């Protein structure tokens, strides 16, 4: 018997890895695995024509969408009760109200578990016709701050600035889907693709052309063949409402990765329906000069940078409830915080939810720019400072020399830069007197700048369980693992740690713990060992009983650092720490409690 040729489209890396492992252990299928979600699966189908395969295997909303476009059987990977239960157990560490959102395969399991386990959460079932973003906004208005969902809802939740946990499928569910695909193909045989009309159309279309159904589904596009236009078709799909045409062609401008494009839209009869044809051509204009400390970001690019890519930790807790107030601010925003608190992530979130989110954000890294490069930015036509209607993020603006800062501020005042664009700034609070220096003082007192302060992780210890729950969920997807959470003692140790590197350090530690943990729960011994490795290196070079302490702080803060360092040396044992310090255990407990509350 010939092998069944299966195209498996996985919404995340972890599932793709498990699919490959399952496929290697079978001799009845020939497996091709591609990454694709609800928004990109049709593009995958275009790159891998379905006539090459016998069946397609995917999950959730992606599978439902593929059924509308593919001419061969599409088998859906079911979400098991265990899959939902594992995610619910992780969500229990999250202190805020949460909801389960997804297609019926997910929510039916959730309803059963809610009744069986007496869990208290909201369940929202969506369909292909649902206004997913509208449903999520309704849940947010009801006080829901965490969504347990499939990939479709997760993308929409991130766009709304809501935290989300992904409901992943285990190996058994994937193997069952492959079994079903083999059964379907054996019973019904191979479906031949009938698309002669489309093949004829492809031969006459000009370069830079896309064709959409009246409902907005992509039929064909050759945009990806043009250098630098990868991903452009998704951006055009977002613009379809303003490209709807009658009898006359419609033209629009689009700024894409620093170049200006002209879009021409006109109606075209195809297979008995009035389709929308979009042709794209380049405009002759000066692109924004990038490189050497200047980068361009677009809204359709991935949200999280490497510092805080594992879940949007900055949106957890009180600070997460404050950030949305800054979304539509017409004034410049100065983001202040210690190293690793997520300043770049917050700037990206403010851009994506701000007044100019349909256009690019230009990031200017003040820490790496030379005086010569600054001079070019303030004088050349290709500088982003001469654009209008974009977001400009000046990263680490506190690192500017005073002379350079004066030139920048003079240019901002003379050119009305703040009135023409949305400006975001960030500054690193790495010493107590940094806010008193010229650059930050001037920004706070001019241009109607508003300040957004990001707390250090030691000031929001109560958020650590919720943050780590998001990290575990995302890393389970990437690693194909099924870790549920922390043992109670392990979480207590983590909350006591100082985290000098804040969210960046916690993210790094979580990656290590997820790689090294063999069981379903992260245990205290693994956390204790990692905490010892993460202690400041300069302290590790000193003999036991000696440590480096920051003296540029209050006496209370110095005493707290001393208690914390001794507690870390004693592996979190408060009795031994109190004995070494010659104080009562209640003194140690009260000092830890005061600093946790502050």
Question: How much is the pLDDT for 194?
Answer: 40
Contacts of 447 (CB under 8 A, 6+ apart): 331, 332, 412, 418, 423
Cα–Cα nearest to 172, from 48, 82, 234: 82
Q: Assess whether pLDDT exceeds 80 at residue 79.
A: yes
Q: How far apart are CA 238 and CA 216, in angstroms?
A: 9
| CB contact at 8 A, 241 and 278 | no
* CA–CA separation, 293 and 376 (whole Å): 12
CB 151 within 8 A of CB 62: yes
Question: Mind giving me the DSSP string for 363-432?
Answer: EEETTT--HHHHHHHTT-TTSGGG-SS-EEEEETGGGS-HHHHHHHHHHHHHHTHHHHSEEEEEEE--ST
Spell out the residues 6+ positions from residue 203 whose beta carbon is closer than 8 angstroms to its own: none
Residue 546 lies in a domain: no
pLDDT band at 545 (very low <50, low <70, confident <90, very high): low
Say which range, 348-352, 527-531, 565-569, has the weakest mean pLDDT: 565-569
Q: Examine the domain organization and report whether 301 and 450 are in the same domain.
A: yes
Average pLDDT for 279-291 = 67
Mean pLDDT of 264-283: 78
Query: Span 248-265, mean pLDDT?
Result: 73
Q: Name the band, by pLDDT with cuts 50, 70 and 90, for residue 273.
A: confident
* CATH, residue 447: 3.40.50.300
For residue 60, tell me if it sits in a domain: yes
Q: Are residues 102 and 159 in the same domain?
A: yes
Contact yes or no for 548/536 (Cβ under 8 A): yes
Q: Which two tokens stand for residue 214?
A: 């009246």
Residues 562 and 413 in one domain: no
Same domain assignment for residues 268 and 363: no
| Residue pLDDT, tens place only, 428-450 | 987 777 888 899 999 999 999 99
304 and 237 fall within a common domain: no
> Which pLDDT belongs to residue 598?
47
Of 128, 154, 186, at which residue does a domain stop? 186
Of the three residues 401, 421, 455, the one that is the final residue of a domain is 455
Given this model, what pLDDT does residue 324 score?
92
Residue 278's contacts (CB-CB under 8 Å, 6 or more residues apart) are 209, 210, 211, 212, 236, 243, 263, 264, 265
Confidence of residue 198 (pLDDT cuts 50, 70, 90): low
| CATH of residue 13 | 3.40.50.2300
The residue to which tokens 């994506």 are assigned: 352
Task: Evaluate if residue 250 carries a pLDDT over 90.
Answer: no
- DSSP designation for 173: H
Say which CATH number the domain at 267 has: 3.30.450.20
* 21: in domain: yes
Residue 436, token pair as written in the block: 């008193």
Residue 191 inside a domain? The answer is: no
As a whole number, mean pLDDT of residues 243-269 equals 72
Q: At 488, which CATH number?
A: 1.10.8.60
Phi/psi of residue 529, each to 5°?
A: -65, -45
Nearest to 341 by CA among 514, 161, 499, 449: 499
Q: For the chain, what is the total number of helices (H) and then of strands (E)?
A: 24, 21
Q: How far is Cα 336 from Cα 398, in angstroms, rounded to an integer?
A: 10
Asked whether 71 and 49 are in contact (CB, 8 A), the reply is: no
In this structure, the answer to whether residues 90 and 39 fall within a common structural domain is: no
Beta bridge partners of 500: none
Q: What is the mean pLDDT of residues 129-158?
A: 85
Could you identify the residue written with the tokens 């959460």? Answer: 121
Query: Which residue reads 């920048």 in tokens?
Result: 408
Residue 301 has pLDDT above 70, yes or no: no
308, 417: one domain: yes
Which pairing describes strands 122-125 and 98-102: parallel, antiparallel, or unpaired?
A: parallel
The band of 244, judged by pLDDT with boundaries at 50, 70 and 90, is: low
Both tokens of 450, joined, read 């508003």
Residue 521 pLDDT? 94
The string of pLDDT tens digits covering residues 375-394 is: 888 888 778 888 888 899 99
Cα 247 to Cα 309: distance, rounded to the nearest angstrom: 46
3-state secondary structure 131-164: CHHHHHHHHHHCCCCEEEECHHHHHHHHHCCCEE
pLDDT of residue 235: 81
450/304 same-domain check:
yes
468 within a domain of the structure (yes/no): yes
Structure confidence at residue 72 (pLDDT): 83
Specify the pLDDT at position 491.
94
Same-domain status, 118 and 56: no
Share of the chain above pLDDT 70, in %: 86
Q: How many CB atoms lie within 10 A of CB 185?
A: 22
The pLDDT of residue 184: 87
Residue 543 lies in a domain: no
Are residues 156 and 136 in contact, defined by beta-carbon separation less than 8 angstroms? yes
In what order do the strands lie in the sheet containing 333-337? 294-297, 361-365, 391-395, 422-428, 333-337, 450-453
Instruction: Tell me what pLDDT residue 569 has.
Output: 77
Ramachandran class of 569: left when φ > 0, alpha when ψ lies in -120 to 50, beta otherwise: alpha
Considering only 289-293, 412-416, 476-480, which range has the smallest mean pLDDT?
289-293
What letters, b where the CB count within 10 A reaches 16 and e where it falls short, cover 303-325? bbeebbebbbbbbbbebbeebbe
Contacts of 271 (CB under 8 A, 6+ apart): 197, 198
| pLDDT number for residue 372 | 85
Task: State pLDDT tens for residues 453-509.
Answer: 999 999 999 999 999 998 998 888 888 888 999 999 999 999 989 898 899 999 999
Q: Residue 500 belongs to what domain range?
A: 461-534
> How many whole angstroms separate alpha carbon 148 and alpha carbon 265?
39
The DSSP secondary-structure symbol of 323 reads G
Q: What percentage of the chain has pLDDT greater than the value 90?
A: 30
Report residue 65 as tokens.
């969408």
87, pLDDT greater than 50? yes
H/E element, 112: helix 104-117
Compute the Cα dihedral for 63, 64, 69, 72 and give only its sign: positive
In a domain, 146, yes or no: yes
Q: What is the mean pLDDT of residues 203-209?
A: 67
| Three-state secondary structure string covering 510-571 | HHHHHHHCCCCEECHHHHHHHHHHHCCHHHHCCCCCCCCCCCCCCHHHHHHHHHHHHHHHCC
Domain shared by 299 and 341, yes or no: yes
- Residue 517 tokens, joined: 């943990």
The domain that holds 159 is classified in CATH as 3.40.50.10660
- Best CA proximity match to 44, nearest among 88, 92, 87, 11: 11
pLDDT digits (tens, 9 = 90+) for 361-372: 999 999 888 888
Domain stop point among 282, 315, 342? 282
Q: What are the backbone dihedrals phi and psi of residue 308, each rounded to the nearest 5 degrees, phi first? A: -135, 40
Counting the structural domains of the chain, the total is: 6
Summarised one tens digit per residue, pLDDT across range 561-598 is 888 888 887 767 788 888 888 888 888 888 887 876 44
Shared domain check, 100 and 65: no
Q: Answer whether residue 432 is part of any domain.
A: yes
CB 590 within 8 A of CB 559: no
Report which of residues 148 and 230 the model is more confident about.
Answer: 148
The structure tokens 């949200």 sit at 303
Average pLDDT, the chain: 83
**pLDDT over threshold 70, residue 401:** yes
Contact 400, 364 (CB under 8 A): no
Residue where the block lists tokens 């400041």? 536
444 plus 482 within the same structural domain: no
Judge whether 263 and 279 are in contact, CB under 8 Å.
yes
């Amino acid at each position: 018997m010939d092998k069944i040729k299966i195209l498996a489209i996985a919404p995340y890396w972890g599932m793709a890895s498990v699919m490959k492992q399952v496929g290697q252990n079978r001799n009845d299928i020939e497996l091709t695995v591609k990454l694709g979600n609800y928004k990109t699966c049709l593009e995958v189908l275009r790159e891998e024509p379905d006539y090459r395969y016998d069946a397609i295997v995917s999950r959730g909303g992606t599978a439902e969408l593929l059924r509308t476009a593919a001419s061969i059987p599409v088998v859906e990977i079911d979400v098991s009760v265990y899959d939902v239960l594992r995610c619910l157990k992780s969500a229990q560490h999250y202190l805020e109200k949460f909801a389960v959102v997804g297609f019926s395969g997910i929510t039916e399991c959730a309803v059963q578990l809610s009744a069986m386990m007496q869990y208290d959460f909201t369940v929202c079932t969506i369909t292909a016709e649902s206004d997913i973003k509208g449903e999520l906004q309704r849940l947010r208005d009801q006080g829901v701050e965490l969504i347990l969902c499939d990939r479709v809802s997760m993308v929409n939740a991130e766009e709304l600035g809501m935290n989300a946990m992904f409901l992943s499928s285990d190996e058994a569910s994937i193997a069952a889907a492959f079994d079903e695909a083999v059964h379907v193909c054996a019973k019904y045989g191979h479906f031949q693709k009938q698309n002669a009309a489309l093949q004829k159309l492809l031969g006459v279309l000009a370069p830079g052309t896309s064709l959409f159904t009246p409902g907005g589904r992509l039929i064909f596009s050759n945009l990806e063949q043009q250098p630098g236009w990868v991903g452009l078709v998704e951006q055009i799909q977002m613009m379809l409402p303003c490209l709807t045409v009658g009898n006359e062609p419609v033209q629009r401008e689009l700024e894409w990765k620093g170049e200006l494009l002209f879009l021409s839209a006109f109606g075209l009869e195809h297979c008995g329906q009035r389709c929308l044809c979009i042709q794209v051509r380049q405009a002759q204009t000066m692109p924004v000069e990038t490189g050497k400390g200047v980068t361009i970001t677009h809204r359709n690019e991935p949200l999280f940078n490497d510092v805080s890519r594992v879940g949007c930790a900055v949106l957890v807790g009180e600070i997460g409830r404050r950030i949305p107030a800054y979304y539509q601010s017409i004034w410049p925003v100065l983001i202040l915080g210690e190293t690793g608190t997520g300043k770049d992530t917050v700037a990206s979130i403010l851009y994506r939810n701000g007044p100019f989110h349909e256009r690019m954000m230009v990031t200017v890294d003040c820490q790496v720019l030379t005086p010569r490069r600054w001079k070019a930015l303030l004088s050349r036509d290709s500088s982003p400072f001469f654009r209008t209607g974009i977001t400009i993020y000046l990263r680490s603006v506190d690192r500017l020399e005073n002379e350079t800062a004066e030139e920048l501020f003079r240019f901002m005042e003379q050119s009305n830069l703040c009135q023409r664009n949305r400006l975001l700034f960030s500054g690193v609070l790495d010493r107590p007197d940094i806010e008193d220096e010229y650059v930050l003082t001037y920004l706070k007192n001019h241009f109607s700048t508003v300040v957004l302060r990001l707390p250090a992780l030691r000031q929001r210890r109560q958020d650590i369980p919720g943050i780590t729950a998001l990290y575990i969920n995302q890393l389970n997807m990437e690693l194909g693992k099924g870790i549920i959470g922390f043992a109670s003692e392990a979480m207590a140790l983590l909350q006591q740690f100082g985290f000098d590197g804040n969210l960046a350090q916690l993210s790094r530690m979580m990656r290590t713990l997820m790689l090294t943990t063999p069981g379903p729960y992260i245990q205290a011994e693994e956390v204790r060992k990692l905490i010892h490795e993460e202690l400041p290196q300069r302290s590790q070079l000193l003999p036991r009983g000696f440590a480096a302490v920051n003296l540029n702080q209050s006496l209370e803060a110095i005493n707290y650092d001393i208690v914390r360092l001794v507690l870390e040396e004693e592996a979190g044992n408060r009795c031994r720490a109190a004995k070494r310090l010659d104080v009562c255990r209640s003194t140690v407990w009260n000092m830890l409690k005061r600093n946790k509350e502050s």
